[in-house]
Amino acid sequence: MVVRLLKQEDLDGLVSLEQELFDNPFGTQSCLEELTEDNRLYLGIFNDGVLIAYVGVMITLDTADIIKIGVTKSQQGKGYAKRLMMLLLQILKDNGVKYVMLEVEHQNFKAINLYTGCGFEEISERKNYYGENSHAKIMRLEL
């Protein structure tokens, strides 16, 4: 296993994971923009050169917003998301970030457990954000 920053050369692996994991995945152009924007940081875990997990954030001044986190379905439940989150949070703290924000679907209990386990707290909720009866929990962590 190798954990490192994602770069433009990782585009195909990122697009592939997006398509596997999300109902509304980022397309190739969006993933390319995410990997090349100055205020973005993406970390990935690679197994035998294949991207199996990633997390991405947008950093604005002293606040980072988690954009996406995903682990290939065959590797879920093995602690990779937590490992990425903890490393990401340390990198952000070391670089002067004070707050980390995210939103999560209110019934995504696995993700909510991950985030609360990393110290995030719910600060608000957006009703019907993802559609009828699908609310977004807004969570924050102070580093």
**13: CB partners within 8 A, 6+ apart:** 44, 50, 51
Helix, strand, coil tally for the chain in percent (to 5): 35, 40, 25
Is residue 66 within 8 A of residue 57, CB to CB? The reply is yes
Query: pLDDT tens, 104-119?
Result: 999 999 999 999 999 9
| Mean of per-residue pLDDT scores for the chain | 95
Beta bridge mates, 57: 41, 66
The stretch 64-78 carries a mean pLDDT of: 96
> What tokens appear for 32 in the block?
């390319």
The residue written with tokens 């433009």 in the block is 8
Query: pLDDT tens, 119-130?
Result: 999 999 999 988
**DSSP single-letter state for residue 120:** -
Which DSSP string corresponds to 3-53? EEE--GGGHHHHHHHHHHH-SS---HHHHHHHHH-TTEEEEEEEETTEEEE
